[in-house]
Amino acid sequence: MKTLMRLFCLCILLALCAGGFVGYEAWRFLNTPPTSPGEEQLFDVEPGTHLGKIAEQLEKRGLVTDAGKLVLLARYKKWDSRLQSGRFQLHSNWLPERILDQLVNGQPVLYRVTLREGLAWWEVARILEEARFARADDFRAVIFDPAFLRHYGIPFHNAEGFLYPDTYLLKKSEFLDIAAARAVAGRLVDTFWQKSARIWPGGRRPNTQDLRKFVILASIVEKESAVPEERPRIAGVFAKRLSINMPLQADPTVIYGLGQKFDGNLRRLHLDDPKNLYNTYKIPGLPPGPICSPGLSALQAALAPEEHNYLYFVAKGDGGHVFSTNLNDHNRAVRQWVQIQREQRQKEKTP
C-alpha cells in the first residue's frame, strides 16, 4: 500500500514538474525576444502561405525563437487564418505576440499584387484599382500619354504589351491620383525592359520595327497557347503565314479589337467585320499593336519561332493543339475538336 502511495505521489510530482516546465517554457517564449538590441527586418508573406510555413520562415530569420510555439499562440488567439500578405517591417527584439499582431493587424510596408500573363491593359487597370494602387481612369490616361510612351521607348499608341506580368510589391498611396498611376505604370514597364534584356539577340534592344513585330507576335502567341512548350511552334505557324502573305486568322486579335464590350461569344459577324482594325481574318499582316501583356516565354518564342511547314492548329481538348500542314488535315482536326466539345457539353447536361 505504501509502495502504491509513493508511486502515486511520484507521478503527481512528475506531472507538476512537467506542467511547471511547460509553463516556464511558454512564459519564456512569450516574454523573451530572440535578440537584444536586435535589428529591423523586412519580411514577406506570400498570398496563401500557411501559418506553419510562415512560422518556420520567422524562426529561420531570427524573428521568433520557436516556430511551433508561435503556431500554438496564433491558434490560441484565433489569428491563424487572419495573416495578411505583403511586405512587413518587423524587429528581432519584438516579442512573439507583437510579431503576430503586426502580421495580422499592422500595415504592410508594401502590398503584393499579381498580374498574370495575357491580360489586356483594361484588365490590368481593373486589378490595380480593385487593389487600390491606382484609379483605372488615371492608369489609362498614363499608358496612353505620348510623353510616357516616349520616355519608356514604347513604339505604339499605348503601353499594351509592355505592362509586364509578374508579382509585384507596391506601395499604396494615401491619395489615388495621376502620380500614383504613373508610378505603378512605370514600374510595370521598367520590369518589362529588365526581364527582356537578357533575351534580345546580341544583348541589344531591337530597333523600332523589329520591336513592334516581336511584341505584337508575342502577345498573339500568349493568347493562343496555354502550353509553354508549344509556343515556339505556334509562333512558327504565324511566322510562316506572314512569309507567304496568308492572313493570320487569329481569334484573339478579333476579340481584342472588340474591346471591353466583348461578351464572350465570338460570332461570324465579328470575323467578317473589316472595320475592326484587329481583325486578322480580313486585314493581312500583324494587327496594329499588341493584344495583351506577354510573358517571357512568349517573347522568346516570338524571337525564335520554330521552323516547320505547319500552317494550321486547333485545340485538342487537353490544353494543347493539333498542328497541320494542309487544310484537309486541319478540317479533320477541327471536326474532332467540335465532337469533343459536343461530348463535353452532353456530360455537363447529364445529371
Query: What confidence score (pLDDT) does residue 25 get?
Result: 74
CA 213, CA 276: separation in Å to the nearest integer?
A: 19
Residue identified by cell 487569329 is 250
Q: Yes or no: say if 68 and 77 are a contact pair by the CB < 8 Å rule.
A: no
Which of the 8 DSSP states describes residue 197?
Answer: T
CA 159, CA 120: separation in Å to the nearest integer?
A: 10
Burial of 98 (0-12, 13-18, 19+ CB in 10 A): middle
CA 64, CA 93: separation in Å to the nearest integer?
A: 9
Task: Output the CA torsion 338→344→346→349 (10° steps).
Answer: -140
DSSP result, 34-90:
SSSS--EEEEEE-TT--HHHHHHHHHHTTS-S-HHHHHHHHHHTT-TT-PPPEEEEE
CA 185, CA 119: separation in Å to the nearest integer?
A: 14
Q: Yes or no: say if 154 and 216 are a contact pair by the CB < 8 Å rule.
A: no
Query: What confidence score (pLDDT) does residue 261 get?
Result: 86
CA 63, CA 82: separation in Å to the nearest integer?
A: 19
pLDDT in tens, 22-79: 567 778 888 888 988 888 888 888 877 889 999 999 999 999 999 999 999 999 888 8
CA 181, CA 191: separation in Å to the nearest integer?
A: 16
Query: What confidence score (pLDDT) does residue 182 get?
Result: 95
This model's pTM is above 0.85 = no
Q: Yes or no: say if 182 and 141 are a contact pair by the CB < 8 Å rule.
A: no
pLDDT lower than 50: segments of the chain: none
Three-class SS string for 149-212?
A: HHHCCCCCCCCCCCCCCCEEEECCCCCCCHHHHHHHHHHHHHHHHHHHCCCCHHHCCCCHHHHH
Query: What confidence score (pLDDT) does residue 23 get?
Result: 67
The three cell numbers of residue 251 are 481569334
Longest dimension (CA), the chain: 104
Which of 238, 260, 262, 236 minimizes the C-alpha distance to 249?
Answer: 238
Report all structural domains of the chain as residue ranges with CATH numbers, in order of start: 33-109 (3.30.1490.480), 111-196 (3.30.1490), 201-308 (no CATH)
Phi then psi for residue 112, to 5 deg, are -95, 135
Residues 247-260 as b or e (16 or more Cβ within 10 Å = b): ebebebbbbbbeee
Q: Yes or no: say if 289 and 156 are a contact pair by the CB < 8 Å rule.
A: yes
Query: What confidence score (pLDDT) does residue 7 get?
Result: 54
